[in-house]
Every structure is written in C-alpha cells, then in structure tokens.
Amino acid sequence: MRFTFLCRVSGVFLFFALFSAFFLDGNGIYTGILAAEISAEKPSVGNFSVEKGSDREIFTESVSESEKTESGNLDSDREKDSRPNVIFILADDLGYGDLSCYGQKHFQTPEIDSLAAEGMKFTQFYAGSTVCAPSRCSLMTGFHTGRCYVRGNKWDAKNESDLPLPEETLTVGKVFQNAGYKTGMFGKWGLGKPGGAGDPENLGFHEFFGYYSQRDAHNYYPPFLYDGKTKIELDGKTYSHDLIEQRALAFIRANKERPFFCYMPVTIPHAAMQVPEEYMKSWREKFSEYEHVKNKYSNAEEVKNPVAAFPAMMTRLDETVGKVVNLLEELGIRENTIIIFSSDNGTHAEGGHRPNFFQSAGELRGIKRDLTEGGVRIPMIVCWPRRVKASEVNPHIAAFWDFLPTVCEIVGEKVPENIDGLSFLPTLTGNDPKQKTHEYLYWEFYEGGGKQAARWNHLKGIRLNVFKNPEGPIQVYDISKDIHEDKNIAEEHPEFVEKFEQIFKEAHIPSAEFKLRKK
C-alpha cells in the first residue's frame, strides 16, 4: 500500500490533493481503491438574474458586478453560490418494475425507495431510446432520436470506438461547466474514445473514470478501465462497480465546497449477471432451484445461477445509492443536492436474466429493443430536500431530452432554442401552471427492421419494419386504458393513424450515419 500526498500553496489559498489508498500486486497491476484528487480550484460562475416569482428564485441569487472577481468569476464560497449540486445515478437496463417502490416483489431496494419517499416519483417518464448509446446521447444533448447525432449502438470501425459525439456538441456537462460547476463522470460513456472528439473530457467533464466503450462494459471484471485518458490495467478479479463507486464518492467529497455535477452512469444491472459472491450467497439459497443454470454474456465469464445474481446486483446498486446519501449527510450538503435516479432503457432478457419471472417491466409490455412501453418507459426519481415535495407521485409526461433544459434553468444558463426538450423544473418545484408540455414524444430505432414510435396525449403509435416498408401500417394503443398495449385501435380510428403519420414525418430529420429508409 502506498499513500501519496501533494500540497501546494498559492497566495492565501492552500491547494491540496489527497489520494485514496490503492494496492498494486507484484506485477504492478492496479487492484484497489482509486486515487482521487481533491481540487480547490475556483469555479467560473456567470452573472445571471432570476425573474421574481420564478422557480429559480428559490435556489439562486442575482450576482452583482461587485461580487465578481477581476476575471469575471466568483469565489467558490457556498454562501455566495447557493445553487444546488446535482448527482445523476443512471442504471443500465433497469426495468420499470425493478424497484420495490415501483412494484418489485422478489427483492427490495430500500435506499432507492427512501429517495422516492423523500422526493418525486415519476410514473410517465421515458428514456431517450430503447438501447444504450442513443439514450445517453439524448440525455446529454436535449434531442430525441429523430434529431440527435447518435441514434443507435454503432461501432465506428475507422475510429475503433463507439460512434463519437462531435466535439462541438453542447452537452449537459458543458452547461454545468459554463455555469462554473465542477463536473465528473463515473461509469459507462459509450459516446467516443480517449482523446477523440467524443471524449467526455472534451464534452463537458473535468473528470472521467470508467468505460469509454459499451463493448468493454459487458464485463464487470474487466482487464482495464480508464482514468481520464490513462488506461488503468486491472487484475481481472476486481469488480468494476466498486471502483466506479469509490471514484464518484471521492469526487463528491473533493468538491463539497463548490457546486458540482456528478454523473454516475453505472453498469448495473446490465446483461452480464456478475456480482461478488458475498452478495450472491443469500440469493442462491432463496433461488436454489436455479443453481444448475449457467449462462454468460459477451466477453464475460460464465455465471452459475444468473437468476440469483440479478437481485444480488440490485442489492449492490441500492447500496451505492445509500453510500451517496450518507456521504452527503456527512458533508452537510444533503439539502443542497439534487439526487436523480433513473435507467437508460427498459429491462433486458440476456445473460440468463428472466424479466418475466421478476416482472421487470411491471405492467408494461416489451423489453429493451422494443418501442412498446416496456422498452422506453423507465423509473425516474428526483429527491431535492425542501424544494421537491416528499412522497410525490407525478404523472407528468417527460423524457431524457428534457434534462438539458431543466439543468439550464437550475444553474441559470440560457436554454438553447433548437433542442427538443422542455424543462420540467416547474413540475419539480410545484409550479405546475408554468409547466410546458410536449405535443408528442418521438423515438426511432435502427435494429429489428427499423421502428418508429410516438406518444401523443394518451395514445401510443408504433410502426415496425420501416426499412422494408417506410409507409407501413401504424399500430395505435390507448395506453390510458390499455397500458399493456394489447388492443390495436388503428382500424377504429383512422384519424389517429393520420396524426401519427404526420408526427413520424415531422419528427424525423435525415441522418448521414443512420438511414431510416433503406433501399
């Protein structure tokens, strides 16, 4: 074990960095706790004003010229900057019914349930897509998949990476940086490679740790992870989630004196049903009838009893949420921190996971790669003490592309005019009369023959096999009465079909990378 301490003094400020303990084996392979620098760097906070009586008035203040430093930036003193920290924990392939606060009966998620009890639980919130990369692109950029740059899980052979976001893309990370926040991303990125245009450090994140590529993230015991652009060799026996959690907690601790955005796109409970045995033991006993079952996913090792592994993974994820909350309380910043918990898309049926057994989609139909509700409707919990009403169950219809404009309003940045998202801050703060609503939500998907779908009022429209038949039949479901999308009412209501036809044409903008109409 070794500890490294770095201190430097500049003027009256003491800059120090405390590195957490880490272990190296005899071959120099990284196996332990990650080093995390604590930065006392000043944030850059622009001058902004708050309209009297607006939602932002409750947590921001107008900054006078006299409070600005010569460089135009504010001192990081919390008394001068009361804007909230934001932590977004994004689970991977977690279904609408995979939390006990959303109806899960086979296991409990008490820490996440506590967030819901102390904050707002959305019942009609939607992912950006039904798979990883486009959903995360939508979350980061404020565009739906009819207009965003990354519209599918696509490997860019030329760059040997997932299709990267262009470096000039405005992202949520850049919005926070422009507002003077310290930004960190810990987990799976999936939108570019180290040093490339899509590197998160080029797209608004001061710190990055985890997986660049979603392909690498298929294994929870990987041979390496990245700390920024530095490749960290691992021993193949270290559970990646542990390292991601440790680094995120270190980032929060390091930035307790200044506003920060901590983005945690963790990889649990993706398709490799891997988790340390200490979490498996009790679940093996509970689901002992599946001890003979073995399965594996992608490049991960084979797992015995993947049925038991799933609740074990969920227990580990729930534990992480509890650690985040406990740290905020320890640091005395819980009340000034927004915690968001969600998932990138619906549940999966890979690696031995049995979504029907666990009812992972709840009462919804479909899973990952479907555009029925089970593929895109997701849990969404927002906890913000004293700002968001406790135990609020809210039916407001929103989606990932609404996150960026919501962030803009929270931190005092101008909302871009050309995006698809609408801020849901009025809903969070109880100012519902000011809440704008979408005419429709839209998705397009480039697997399974090509698919389009839209949510319009209480109706859902879906077109399949778009590649072969771009003008093919549209299924219509009244999800206010038929949440499982069993009864297609298209023939009874041609006017609804006509409306969805109009939406599909209007929402889709041609892409050079993704061809919805293939010849």
Residue 104 and residue 467 in contact, taking contact as beta carbons nearer than 8 Å: no
Of the candidate ranges 11-20, 353-362, 400-409, 482-491, the one whose mean pLDDT is the lowest: 11-20
Angstrom distance (rounded) from CA 64 to CA 413: 16
Q: Average pLDDT of the chain? A: 87
Give residues with Cβ within 8 angstroms of 326, minimum separation 6. none
Residue 331 pLDDT > 50 = yes
Higher pLDDT, residue 250 or 55: 250
Residue 381 pLDDT > 50 = yes
pLDDT, position 82:
86
Sign of the Cα pseudo-torsion (220, 166, 37, 89, in order): negative
Residue 417 pLDDT > 90 = yes
pTM of this structure: 0.86
Q: Which of 221, 359, 361 is nearest to 297 (CA)?
A: 221
Sign of the Cα pseudo-torsion (42, 43, 46, 49, in order): negative
pLDDT, position 146:
98
pLDDT (average), residues 199-213:
97
pLDDT, position 519:
59
Residue 85 pLDDT > 70 = yes
**Does residue 153 sit in helix, strand or coil?**
coil
pLDDT, position 29:
38
Give residues with Cβ within 8 angstroms of 99, minimum separation 6. 109, 112, 113, 116, 379
pLDDT (average), residues 465-489:
97
Higher pLDDT, residue 270 or 81: 270
Angstrom distance (rounded) from CA 61 to CA 81: 8
pLDDT, position 4:
36
Residue 501 pLDDT > 50 = yes
Residue 497 pLDDT > 70 = yes
Element (H, E) at 408: helix 403-411
pLDDT (average), residues 494-519:
94
Residue 115 and residue 381 in contact, taking contact as beta carbons nearer than 8 Å: yes
Element (H, E) at 182: strand 182-188
Residue 10's CB: how many other CB atoms inside 10 A?
8
9: tokens are: 């003094």
Higher pLDDT, residue 159 or 458: 458
pLDDT (average), residues 140-160:
93
Percent of the chain scoring above 90 in pLDDT: 81
pLDDT, position 372:
98
Residue 311 pLDDT > 70 = yes
Angstrom distance (rounded) from CA 298 to CA 241: 18
pLDDT (average), residues 113-126:
98
pLDDT, position 412:
96
Q: Which of 349, 410, 420 is nearest to 382 (CA)?
A: 410
> In the chain, what is the greatest distance between 2 CA atoms, to the nearest angstrom?
75
Angstrom distance (rounded) from CA 210 to CA 198: 15
Residue 490 and residue 470 in contact, taking contact as beta carbons nearer than 8 Å: no
Residue 19 pLDDT > 80 = no
Angstrom distance (rounded) from CA 134 to CA 131: 7
Residue 344 and residue 337 in contact, taking contact as beta carbons nearer than 8 Å: no
Residue 83 pLDDT > 70 = yes
Beta strands in 374-499 (DSSP E): 377-383, 392-394, 398-399, 441-445, 451-456, 459-463, 474-478
